[in-house]
A and B are shown apart, each in its own frame.
Chain A
Amino acid sequence: MAYTPQYYPGSASVGINRRKHMSGNLEKLRDIAEADVVAIMGHRAPGADYSSTHPPLKEMGEPDCPIRQIVAPTPGAAAGDRVRYSQWTDSMYFAPSIPYFRSYWGAINCKGCDPGTLSGRQIIEARERDIEAYTKKQYDSEMTDVALCSMRGCTVHGHSLRLEENGMQFDMLARTELGKDGNVYGIKDQVGIPLDKKINLGKPMSEAEAKKRTTIFRFDGVPMGGKIGARKYDEAVEALHHMWELRSKWGYRPE
């Protein structure tokens, strides 16, 4: 029998969603054009050449190294692209992906990337054409709700702030807006420079759907310790306690 890793414990919806995010078996909800994703990232104009830090690997002549022979380079690494980033801010009001789970998704499913988690934002760095592909995957999949998540290269705060009246995550630089037709439009790139045209990002999730797809444990959603009066904690809490115990008592070396 083929081994299928179970990435995360827990039988509550949040545990199931966390497993989904980590395994990469995500539902595709929308299709945003590649050129639009590139425009929002703002590193290069859509259609422009990729800037590079070294010549393509084939021209360079690599040293004789067994690891290089085993591991095929990503398209970006093979072409010698610059390393670029994409950074997300996800609202704590039931955004589908909270910062750590974007990182787990990146670390497990994206080759040649460097994910970083901060308190209210999450950044992934990779070679330019790789990060563009990874960002498009994040935009198109259920990891992203266009109202509660947005790409923010700077002035990132919004994660822990209350939502706006129309249900959008607060953004000081107003990079996205809710149109009259109910669609969310991207009007600026991730650092706040206005785009040439508005980009239709599609309809936001309803509150119930966001709660269904979220990976955040919250007292007013799915609490980590179970409902009040529950006789048994969720498996996720038991596993967490177990890890905590191993780590604090033996520095993760249970010998």
Chain B
Amino acid sequence: MVTESDTESIQVEIVPSRYLMPATAQVLLNEIYKNGGIIRIMIQGPNLPRSVPYGPGRGAPIEENRDLLIEVGGQAFELSVKVGRIRLEMESEKYFNGLKAACERVLPFSFNIKRGKFFHTRPTLTDYAKFGKVEDTRILGLIDPKAKRDKLAILSEEKVTFDDKEER
């Protein structure tokens, strides 16, 4: 029998049963941040375009989707998706219960939280096409492979090395 070390990092996925409004997302992300032990975190959900993408109304601005600024851990960024899923990697198992408690405190509805493997470890062909040679493997699995580069927003306290972009 193999006993897993409790110092190994764990990956967790949180799926709330409803899409989060930016204000709730901000509170939840801050609670998760306060819980500590985060190596990386990704938020995912349906796209919120700034203007009507196609049809007779193409180009009409969607004011409701603009300036959805949220502040997490002292850094502000603009949401371009409706938050529907949060994946994160944590330093060790000991942060898991705190994370679950944070979700219970913030979310007024049910949610699913599970451990598993959600980020890939080796660069895929798409990663190569998008980033070239990836030196900092933390960015692997953080973005939707189909997403365009301008949709990518990476926040980090340390410098993230890929190409010439940092802290967008």
Question: Chain A residues in contact with chain B, CB under 8 A?
Answer: 42, 153-155, 157, 161-166, 170, 172-174, 177, 188-189, 191-194
Of residues 100 through 141 on chain B, the ones whose CB sits less than 8 Å from some CB of chain A are: 109
Contact B18 A172 (CB under 8 A): no
Residue of A nearest to B82 (CB): A170
Q: 4 closest pairs, A vs B, by CB?
A: A154-B55, A174-B64, A191-B57, A192-B57
- Tell me what chain B mostly uses at the interface: helix, strand, loop, or mixed: loop
Chain A residues with Cβ below 8 Å from B82 are 164, 170
Contact, CB under 8 Å: B46 / A172: yes
Q: Could you list some 14 contacts between A and B, CB below 8 A?
A: A42-B56, A161-B19, A162-B18, A165-B109, A170-B19, A170-B82, A172-B47, A173-B62, A188-B57, A191-B52, A191-B56, A192-B60, A193-B56, A193-B57
Chain A contacts for B145, CB-based, 8 A = none
Q: Which residues of A contact B16 (CB under 8 A)?
A: 162
Candidates A153, A177, A191; contact of B64 at CB < 8 Å: A177
- In the complex, what's the smallest C-beta–C-beta distance from A41 to chain B, in angstroms? 12
Binding site for A on B (CB under 8 A): 16-21, 24, 46-49, 52-57, 60, 62, 64-65, 82, 84, 109
Chain A's closest residue to B25 (CB) is A165
Beta-carbon contact of A161 and B46 below 8 Å: yes
Q: A164-B18, A170-B82 are in contact. Are A193 and B62 (CB under 8 A)?
A: no
Given A172-B46, A172-B49, A192-B62, A165 and B56 touching (CB < 8 A)? Answer: no
In chain A, what residue has the closest Cβ to B23? A165
Apart from A155-B52, A170-B82, A191-B55, list 10 A-B contacts with CB within 8 A: A153-B56, A157-B46, A165-B109, A170-B19, A172-B46, A173-B57, A174-B64, A191-B56, A193-B57, A194-B60
Contact B54 A155 (CB under 8 A): yes
Q: How far is the CB of A121 from chain B (nearest CB, A)?
A: 13
Indicate if the CB atoms of A192 and B55 lie closer than 8 Å: yes
Q: Decide yes or no: A165 and B20 within 8 Å by CB, A174-B65, A193-B60, A194-B60 being known contacts.
A: yes
Contact A163 B56, beta carbon cutoff 8 Å = no
From DSSP, what is the main secondary structure of chain A's interface residues? Answer: loop
Whether A192 contacts B52 in the complex (CB less than 8 A), given A172-B46, A174-B64, comes out as: yes
Contacts of A174 in B (CB 8 A): 62, 64-65
Of the candidates B18, B49, B53, B55, which one forms a contact with A163 in the assembled complex, judged by CB atoms under 8 Å apart? B18
CA distance A177 to B21 in the complex (A): 13
Give chain A nearest CB distance to B53 CB in angstroms: 7
In the bound complex, residues from chain B placing their C-beta under 8 Å from that of A188 are: 57
Do residues B55 and A162 form an inter-chain contact, with CB atoms below 8 A? Answer: no
On whether the beta carbons of B53 and A164 are closer than 8 Å, the reply is no
A155 to B56, CA, bound (A): 11
Task: Kindly state the separation between the CA atoms of A177 and B63 in the bound complex, as whole angstroms.
Answer: 13
Closest A residue to B54 by beta carbon equals A154
Residues of chain B lying within 8 A (CB to CB) of residue A194: 60
- CB of A12 to closest CB in B, whole Å: 25
* A154-B57 contact given A161-B46, A170-B46, A170-B82, CB 8 Å threshold: yes
B24 touches A165 (CB 8 A): yes
Across the interface, name the chain A residue whose C-beta is closest to B21. A165
Q: Which residue of B lies closest to A193 (CB)?
A: B57
Q: How far is the CA of A180 from the CA of B137 in the complex (A)?
A: 46
Q: CA–CA, A161 to B20, complex, Å?
A: 13
Give the distance in Å from the alpha carbon of A164 to the alpha carbon of B48 in the complex. 13
Chain A hits for B52, CB < 8 A: 154-155, 173, 191-193
**In whole angstroms, what is the CA distance A42 to B56 when docked?**
10
| A162 with B84: CB separation less than 8 A | yes
Q: Which chain A residue lies CB-closest to B64? A: A174
Q: Looking across the interface, which residue of chain A has its beta carbon closest to that of B20?
A: A165
Measured between alpha carbons, how far is A194 from B17 in the docked complex, in Å? Answer: 30
Give the residue name and chain of the B residue nearest to A153 (CB). Answer: B55
Question: Which residues in A have their C-beta under 8 angstroms from that of B60?
Answer: 192-194
B53 nearest in chain A by CB position: A155
